[in-house]
Amino acid sequence: MDSVYPSSSATISLKPPRNSDSNSFSGSRNWVPSSSGSGHKVGSFSRSLMEKKPQKVVVGDAGYVLEDVPHFSDYIPHLPTYPNPLQDNPAYSVVKQYFVNVDDTVAQKIVVHNNSPRGTHFRRAGPRQKVYFESDDVHACIVTCGGLCPGLNTVIREIVCGLHHMYGVKKVLGIDGGYRGFYSRNTISLTPKSVNDIHKRGGTILGTSRGGHNTSKIVDSIQDRGINQVYIIGGDGTQKGASVIYEEIKRRGLKVVVAGIPKTIDNDIPVIDRSFGFDTAVEEAQRAINAAHVESESVENGIGVVKLMGRYSGFIAMYATLASRDVDCCLIPESPFYLEGPGGLFEYIEKRLKENGHMVIVIAEGAGQELLSEIMHSMAKQDASGNKLLQDVGLWISQKIKDHFSKRHKMTINLKYIDPTYMIRAVPSNASDNVYCTLLAQSAVHGAMAGYTGFTVGPVNGRHSYIPFHRIIEQQNKVVITDRMWARLLSSTNQPSFLRAKDVIEDKKEELPSQLSDHQNGLKDNLVKKEISYAL
pLDDT in tens, 87-118: 888 888 888 888 999 899 999 998 888 888 99
Dist CA 227 CA 10 (whole Å): 36
289 known member of a binding site: no
What per-residue confidence (pLDDT) applies to 1? Answer: 35
Cα separation, 492 vs 484, whole angstroms:
12
Binding residue per annotation — 237?
A: yes
Burial of 17 per CB tally in 10 Å (0-12, 13-18, 19+): exposed
Residue 233 pLDDT greater than 70, yes or no: yes
pLDDT for the residue 417: 97
C-alpha distances in Å from residue 376, one per residue of 309, 340, 367, 393: 21, 21, 15, 15
Bridge partners of 106?
Answer: 11, 122
Q: Is 311 annotated as a binding residue?
A: yes
Query: Quick one: how far is CA 187 from the chain centroid?
Result: 27
Q: Does the pLDDT value for residue 485 go beyond 80?
A: yes
Confidence check: pLDDT of 481 > 60: yes
pLDDT in tens, 241-281: 999 999 999 999 999 999 999 999 999 999 999 999 999 99
To the question of whether residue 265 is assigned a binding role by annotation, the answer is yes
User: Which band of pLDDT confidence, cut at 50, 70 and 90, is reported for residue 498?
Assistant: confident
Is 39 annotated in a binding site? The answer is no
Model confidence band, residue 409 (pLDDT cutoffs 50, 70, 90) = low
Q: Which helix (H) or strand (E) holds 401?
A: helix 393-408
Residue 231 neighbours by CB distance under 10 Å: 27
Q: Is 310 flagged in the annotation as binding?
A: yes
Choose from 152-166, 333-347, 382-396 the range with maximum mean pLDDT: 152-166
Asked whether the predicted pLDDT for residue 415 surpasses 60, the reply is yes
Tell me how far the alpha carbon of residue 195 is from its chain's centroid. Answer: 25
Question: H/E element holding 535?
Answer: helix 524-535
Percent of the chain with pLDDT over 70: 79
Whole-prediction pTM: 0.82
Residue 9 pLDDT greater than 80, yes or no:
no
Query: What does the alpha-carbon distance between residue 417 and residue 106 come to, in Å, rounded to a whole number?
Result: 45
Closest of 354, 298, 304, 308 to residue 328, by C-alpha: 304
Average pLDDT, the chain: 83
Which letter does DSSP use for residue 390 in this model? Answer: P
Q: Which of 459, 430, 435, 125 is nearest to 262 (CA)?
A: 459
DSSP string over 434-491: HHHHHHHHHHHHHHHHTTB-SEEEEEETTEEEEEEHHHHHSS-----TTSHHHHHHHH
Residue 457, pLDDT > 70, answer: yes
Q: Is 154 annotated as a binding residue?
A: no
Active site residue 518: no
Q: Is 226 annotated as a binding residue?
A: no
CA dihedral 523, 525, 530, 532 (to 10 degrees): 150
Neighbours of 481 (CB within 10 A): 24
Question: Annotation-wise, does 238 bind a ligand?
Answer: yes
Tens digit of each residue's pLDDT (9 = 90 or more) over 207-228: 999 888 899 999 999 999 999 9
Measured CA to CA, the distance from residue 107 to residue 42 in angstroms comes to 19
Query: What is each CA distance from 267 to 108, 242, 312, 320, in whole angstroms?
Result: 17, 19, 10, 13
Could you give the percent of the chain with pLDDT greater than 90? 67
Residue 191 labelled as part of a binding site:
no
Exactly one of 266, 268, 433, 507 is catalytic; name it.
266
Report which of residues 117 and 9 the model is more confident about.
117
Lowest average pLDDT, out of 125-139, 380-394, 448-462, goes to 380-394
What separation in angstroms does the CA of 131 have from each of 22, 127, 450?
10, 9, 4
